[in-house]
Amino acid sequence: MKLRAALSAAFCALAFACGSARAAEPQVPMFWDGNERLPKPNLSGLARLRFLTTTDFPPFNFLDREGRLSGFHVDLARAICAELDIADKCQIQAAPWAELDGLLRSRQGEAILAGIAVTGETRLKYAFSRPYLRFPARFVMPKTTAVAEPVFDKLQGKRVGVIAGSAHELVLRAYFTGVKVVTYSRQDWMLEDLKAARIAAAFGDGMRLGFWLQGTEAGGCCRFAGGPYLAPEYLGSGLAIATSEPALAAAFDAALHQIAVKGVFAELYLRYFPVSFF
């Protein structure tokens, strides 16, 4: 009973996580309380807002076939600027990852929208918005044998694949103690074994597994089973916007909240992640 309580507390601390776990299909995530009221800041005195990102992190930021900067982060930045009524002052600039911090510190940009991890160390350097996207762990199983929540008892004694040394291995061993953990050094090997029924399930990053499910390599064999599982102590708190100005971080929170409530975030999310990992 203690293990079940710990499992429930860790994975269902957020209401949407529990709700999505019981749903027939994965859902668009909602990270904001619709009843919360965040004041919309007046940024009329802001000369410009330059978002710094990279070009090598698809589908978040990349160059399209015509060489234009594109991706989820690019469209999210535009949505934030529109919500804050400063679209005419917004710019999105790309640079190598290693240069982003220096550009922000030298005031050649006002915010980094490129997936900087929120840690104790980075909090000393930046003011962060609240997370705008989190990455749950998911099980993937063949469609013919996939199970629904609760999966804890249904996976007892089953062989479950996971990448060796990953945070997902830690989650699997901590919260699903009855499974037979099979470790792999490469995801493609793990998924080949899943298709060949040498393992009952694969466990890992929901986003990566979602891309595999929609690709040709999966061949329509499988689907998500159970989950999504959020375990911040192992998987981190998600993606947030980094800035050197706390007032800007608060402005981003207000914009992100409205983008979520109005359904703009859902549209962007499904545009870039058609197989939802929630």
Domain ranges of the chain: 2-27+136-235, 49-133+237-272
The 3-class SS string of the chain reads CHHHHHHHHHHCCCHHHHHHHHCCCCCCCCCCCCCCCCCCCCCCCCCCEEEEECCEECCCEEECCCCCEECHHHHHHHHHHHHCCCHHHEEEEECCHHHHHHHHHCCCCCEECCCCECCHHHHCCCEECCCCECCCEEEEEECCCCCCCCCCHHHCCCEEEEECCCHHHHHHHHHCCCCEEEEECCHHHHHHHHHCCCCCEEEEEHHHHHHHHHCCCCCCCEEEEEEEECCHHHHCCCECCEECCHHHHHHHHHHHHHHHHCCHHHHHHHHHCCCCCC
Q: What is the pLDDT of residue 136?
A: 96
CATH number of this structure's domain 49-133+237-272, picked from the four choices 2.40.37.10, 3.40.190.10, 1.10.3720.10, 3.40.50.150: 3.40.190.10
Task: Extract the residue ranges of the chain whose pLDDT is less than 70.
Answer: 1-26
Render pLDDT for 53-102 as a digit per residue (tens, 0 to 9). 999 999 999 999 999 999 999 999 999 999 999 999 999 999 999 999 99
pLDDT attached to residue 227: 84
- pLDDT of 12 reads 39
Question: What is the predicted pLDDT for the residue at 22?
Answer: 41
Q: Give pLDDT, residue 196.
A: 96
The superfamily in CATH containing domain 2-27+136-235 is Periplasmic binding protein-like II (3.40.190.10)
Give pLDDT, residue 4. 36
Domains 2-27+136-235 and 49-133+237-272 are alike in CATH topology = yes
pTM of the model: 0.85
